[in-house]
Structure 1
Amino acid sequence: MTIDESDQNGEGMQMNTHSVRSTVVETTVAGFPALHGAPGSKTEKPPILFLHGAFADHFTFERWVGAFADLGYETFAPARRGRAGVGPDRAAGLDFDDYVDDTRAVLATLDQPPIIVGHSLGALIAQRLAAQGAARSIVLLAPAPPAMLTAQAVALPKFGPQMPKIMAGRPFVVGNNACSVLALNRVPADARPPIHARLTHESGKVYRALMFGTVRVDASKVAVPVFVAGGTDDRIISTALTRKTAKHYGVQAHIYPDHGHWIVDEPGTDAVIRDVADWLASHWS
């Protein structure tokens, strides 16, 4: 796989090369900054759309965009409003439906419904889109549930000071320490600074909706295959919540030992990618 930055010098960074040589570039899709993975040869496989979580951006899925392009899928990981230079500033005033609309704008640029892979808040967006008939299948990683997001005890001291902003629906951002303790507890300390550097403000209205479970998804309208995964050490989405989401769609959750909320890019994530790839191959080979 080769990663190229879409800047003026055209220089790229060489990554691991697999059996199929793919290319990942920074681009823009429907007005949103995005990563695009192009497989090394023509493919009949459906495209994959990767949706990042709260406080994050499209680079969350850089590892996955390349890995699945190597496997012959055309891949896209877009940002949403409120980050990566796309207004409103600090996601002020945005609600959950705005994020769904942003993703539908990206979907409109594709020539067929994609497989949608979502992490955390992105997984809840994926669920809503599947219920709207916009996905070919969905993969939910550490998924925000279509129900109340119950805080774990370890999270209370970190989110407590943010409650006035959340309740008022005002933008807020988690600090580096809170991010490390809650989301990156299974990420090596020396790998955390680049993630911290990309933290962005999240909409308080959206987070309030997650906390109180006002975002609902009618499981009877999700008529596509569903894969649900979480980690035993996730301090944001508990194992119980992950299993509850899986049960909502009539499937078994895949629970990975020694993984936290950043299951998308931790030591051992390659095994998660392989499992997702095998599951997709069973449906779209």
Structure 2
Amino acid sequence: MNRPVVFIHGLWIHSLSWQPWQELYGERGYETYAPGWPGEADSVAATRADPARTAGSGVDEITDAYAKILAGLGGPPIVVGHSFGGLIAQKLLSRGQAAAAVAISPAPIKGVRLVPPSLLRSSLPVLSRPGNKRRAVSLTEKQFAYAFGNTLPPAESAELYQRLTIPSPGRPLFEASSANFSRKAPTAVDTTRDDRGPLLFLAAGKDHTVPAGVVKAARRLHAASSAHTEIFTYAERGHTAPFDHGWRELADDTLVWLARQGL
């Protein structure tokens, strides 16, 4: 059986964003899956048409939904996650439910205390209204251009917005923002396990939503483990890095890294 790879998207982006990665990984012999979050429909249009279906899920519920999928694959897969998907990938790895993880611009885990102004601004569409914790929230095209598409030509940012964006639950952002004040934060990850699989962080140097410094802070937390951990930084990239015109650079680098790990 070919080794399975499960791709996990983040807030506001549909799982279809992973199709180019799935095709590339499939050509390299991997069995790929890109399931959506709880309540997410198979298409962008259908998800937009019924946003209430995605409302209310938090980090634990989303992680558990993916854990059930992983458990049915016959063995721990590789997990590749972007943004909140990168946080979830770390949780699955730390639980021993994944053989390896790639976290691309991952949302901050508990213990990351760096809060750059651009991260706050990117989160305001949700955090500015407490009631959004129970709702599904959509970004405007202007908000997407700042939080995701700031390194792109305006036409490409607009095209990605129209093609891939969906409403997403507000709850994960509230959980991340309060994590360091909570004893049992859903965004907590066991960064001390020496027996976990290898972990790769990808940081984007011009990312407004998860600035590279936030990713590096997460990497430092994982230094408490002797397990293999690396970080690659892409100085000129933003939060769209895994699904904009330059996605192939990240995908190729990730495949090389997996090969070095014997995976």
Q: Work out the CA distance in 2 between the residues paired with 1:138 and 1:154.
A: 26
Note if 1:134 corresponds to 2:97. Answer: yes
> CA 1:82–1:149 in structure 2 vs 1: closer, same or farther (change >3 Å)?
farther
Note if 1:246 corresponds to 2:219. Answer: yes
Cα drift, residue 89 of structure 1: 1.9
Note if 1:79 corresponds to 2:36. Answer: yes
State the SS of the aligned residue for 1:66.
helix
Relative to its length, the structure with more helix (as a share) is: 2
Q: Work out the CA distance in 1 between the residues paired with 2:169 and 2:113.
A: 16
State how many pairs are aligned: 242
Which protein is bigger by CA-based radius of gyration?
1
> CA 1:163–1:202 in structure 2 vs 1: closer, same or farther (change >3 Å)?
same
Aligned residue number for residue 260 of structure 1: 238
Cα drift, residue 157 of structure 1: 4.9
Aligned residue number for residue 217 of structure 1: 189
User: Contact 2:119/2:211 (CA < 8 Å) preserved in 1?
Assistant: no
Q: Work out the CA distance in 2 between the residues paired with 1:52 and 1:149.
A: 23
State the SS of the aligned residue for 1:230.
strand
Aligned residue number for residue 147 of structure 2: 182
> CA 1:114–1:271 in structure 2 vs 1: closer, same or farther (change >3 Å)?
same
The 5-angstrom pairing of residues 153-164 of structure 1 reads 153-154=117-118, 156-157=120-121, 159-160=123-124, 162-164=126-128
Q: Work out the CA distance in 1 between the residues paired with 2:256 and 2:31.
A: 17
> CA 1:116–1:161 in structure 2 vs 1: closer, same or farther (change >3 Å)?
closer
User: Contact 2:122/2:208 (CA < 8 Å) preserved in 1?
Assistant: no
CA-based RMSD of the aligned residues comes to 2.3
Moved more, 253-262 or 193-202: 193-202
Overall identity of the aligned pairs, in %: 24
Amino acid across the alignment from 1:279: W
Moved more, 149-158 or 255-264: 149-158
Cα drift, residue 204 of structure 1: 1.9
Of the three residues 110, 122, 126, the one matched with 2:73 is 110
User: Contact 1:48/1:114 (CA < 8 Å) preserved in 2?
Assistant: yes
- Structure of greater relative contact order (alpha carbons < 8 Å, 6+ residues apart): 2
